[in-house]
């Protein structure tokens, strides 16, 4: 391998691009919490943030302007500064010898770019060219839940409706929800919607990313195309409806799956009880079911409300929640780096 992701004495040289953002900050926390073997850490963002600092493991790291930052001494570069930033800078990081793990949608559907959720398709990392894509947050938690069903019975069709939090639109999305909520409660003029098409406070918006000619949004099509690629099921039938809800952190999803054979809710629960990355939480009589505020700041994909369809024994319905900034972004990216490191030892 030409890429410098070999263990140098004391670990790996890591750069976080977009380090001041909601995802970038979570990446710093995740690297620290998991004791990722960091030999040195660099933080990069736009010129707006250059010279400020971010906290990593008790140290203040001064932010570099990405436009003037080189990658010659970087082993892993974790990008989360938006698709246009990755399109402009990821290839020069790869050319300088870094392995790039990119959280944006820029390269996910390129045939020669692995799109990886370690619990589902770690084998796709066998053959990379220095650039690995981290899937969309809503897709990641869904495939973690679907994989055991696909292995045990086979999946014929998936219908999903999402309830996505404001932090999916980055720190500015959270700030907009908070400011709008405060204004609404105080009876003041609400700030103009910027990150969202309408004010999000006290409302639900069936609109994430832009509308395409098919009537689906790009976010909904990302869930279709990325799931097909990750699960290596190019013909899998899926339909998604993605909505934004006034939640700070944690995406919820209502999922209906048509399986290849009859399968009981009890059998599905038994599968998920042992599945990697899954936390089964399904005791409705005790009011135990996944919620965004329960899943926030945790690593798992939480699964509950598991039930058979009333009419079709091959169909299951269930509810999942995961922290979009953790498993949906930062954690999955760090796990990819951990898998790559594991293979070198």
List residues near ligand 25A by CB under 6 A: 18-25, 45-46, 48-49, 66, 80-85, 103-104, 137, 167-172, 324-325, 328-329
The listed partner (ligand L14, ligand 25A, none) that binds 80, CB under 5 to 8 Å by sort, is ligand 25A
C-alpha to C-alpha distances, 154 to 138, 270, 277, nearest whole angstrom:
21, 16, 20
The listed partner (ligand 25A, ligand L14, none) that binds 11, CB under 5 to 8 Å by sort, is none
| Straight-line distance from the first to the last Cα atom of the chain, in angstroms, rounded to the nearest whole number | 14
* Residue list 193-252, contact with ligand L14 (CB under 6 A): 208-209, 219, 222
Token pair, residue 43, equals: 């933080």
* CB nearer ligand L14, residue 222 or residue 326: 222
The separation between CA 312 and the C-alpha centre of its own chain, rounded to angstroms, equals: 32
Report, in Å, the least distance between residue 269 CB and ligand 25A: 29
| Rounded-to-integer distance, Cα 161 and Cα 241, Å | 5
The listed partner (ligand 25A, ligand L14, none) that binds 252, CB under 5 to 8 Å by sort, is none
Report, in Å, the least distance between residue 144 CB and ligand L14: 16
| Rounded-to-integer distance, Cα 184 and Cα 178, Å | 10
**SS (HEC) of 51-98:** CCEEEECCEEEEEEEHHHCCCCCCCEEEECCCHHHHHHHHHHHHHCCC
The listed partner (ligand L14, ligand 25A, none) that binds 219, CB under 5 to 8 Å by sort, is ligand L14
β pairing state of 237-244 and 251-259: unpaired
β pairing state of 12-17 and 38-45: parallel
* CB nearer ligand L14, residue 168 or residue 180: 168
Residue pointed to by tokens 């954690």: 331
The listed partner (ligand L14, ligand 25A, none) that binds 164, CB under 5 to 8 Å by sort, is ligand L14
* CB nearer ligand L14, residue 49 or residue 164: 164
The listed partner (ligand L14, ligand 25A, none) that binds 208, CB under 5 to 8 Å by sort, is ligand L14
* CB nearer ligand 25A, residue 27 or residue 99: 27
Closest residue to ligand 25A using C-beta atoms: 21
Which residue, among 328, 276, 271, 258, has the nearest Cα to 297 in the 3D structure? 328
Report, in Å, the least distance between residue 202 CB and ligand L14: 19
Report, in Å, the least distance between residue 98 CB and ligand 25A: 16
- Asked whether position 137 contacts ligand L14 by CB under 6 A, the answer is yes
Report, in Å, the least distance between residue 210 CB and ligand 25A: 10
Site mask for ligand L14 (CB under 6 A), range 76-115, x = bound: -----------------------------x----------
In DSSP notation, 265-297 reads: HHHHHHHHHT-TTEEE--BGGGTB---HHHHTT
Residue pointed to by tokens 């979009």: 324
C-alpha to C-alpha distances, 139 to 170, 215, 227, 286, 301, nearest whole angstrom:
17, 19, 6, 29, 11
- List, by residue number, the catalytic residues: 137, 251
C-alpha to C-alpha distances, 307 to 151, 288, 319, nearest whole angstrom:
19, 14, 10
Site mask for ligand L14 (CB under 6 A), range 158-187, x = bound: ------x---xx------------------
β pairing state of 278-280 and 301-308: parallel
The footprint of ligand L14 (CB under 6 A) covers 105, 136-137, 164, 168-169, 208-209, 219, 222
């Amino acid at each position: 391998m030409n890429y410098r992701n070999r263990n140098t004495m004391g670990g790996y040289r890591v750069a976080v691009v977009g380090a001041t953002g909601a995802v970038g900050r979570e990446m710093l926390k995740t690297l620290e919490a998991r004791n990722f073997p960091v030999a040195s850490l660099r933080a990069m963002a736009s010129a707006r943030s250059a010279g400020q600092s971010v906290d990593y493991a008790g140290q203040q790291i001064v932010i570099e302007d990405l436009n003037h930052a080189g990658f010659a001494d970087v082993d892993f570069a974790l990008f989360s500064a938006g698709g246009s930033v990755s399109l402009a800078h990821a290839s020069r990081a790869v050319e300088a010898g870094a392995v790039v793990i990119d959280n944006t949608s820029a390269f996910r559907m390129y045939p020669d770019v692995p799109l990886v959720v370690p619990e589902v398709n770690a084998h796709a990392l066998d053959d990379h060219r220095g650039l690995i894509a981290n899937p969309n947050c809503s897709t990641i938690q869904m495939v973690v839940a679907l994989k055991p069903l696909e292995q045990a019975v086979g999946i014929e069709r998936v219908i999903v409706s999402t309830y996505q939090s404001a932090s999916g639109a980055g720190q500015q999305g959270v700030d907009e929800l908070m400011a709008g909520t405060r204004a609404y409660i105080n009876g003041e003029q609400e700030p103009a919607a910027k990150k969202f098409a309408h004010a999000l406070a006290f409302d639900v918006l069936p609109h994430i990313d832009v509308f395409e000619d098919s009537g689906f949004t790009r976010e909904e099509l990302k869930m279709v195309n990325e799931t097909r690629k990750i699960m290596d099921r190019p013909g899998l039938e899926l339909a998604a409806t993605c909505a934004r809800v006034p939640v700070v952190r944690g995406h919820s999803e209502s999922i209906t799956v048509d399986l290849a054979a009859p399968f009981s809710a009890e059998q599905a629960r038994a599968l998920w009880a042992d599945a990697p990355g899954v936390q089964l939480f399904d005791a409705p009589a005790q009011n135990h079911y996944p919620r965004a505020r329960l899943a926030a700041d945790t690593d798992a994909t939480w699964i509950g409300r598991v039930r058979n369809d009333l009419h079709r024994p091959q169909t299951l319905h269930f509810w999942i929640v995961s922290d979009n900034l953790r498993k949906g972004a930062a954690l999955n990216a760090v796990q990819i780096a951990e898998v790559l490191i594991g293979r070198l030892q």
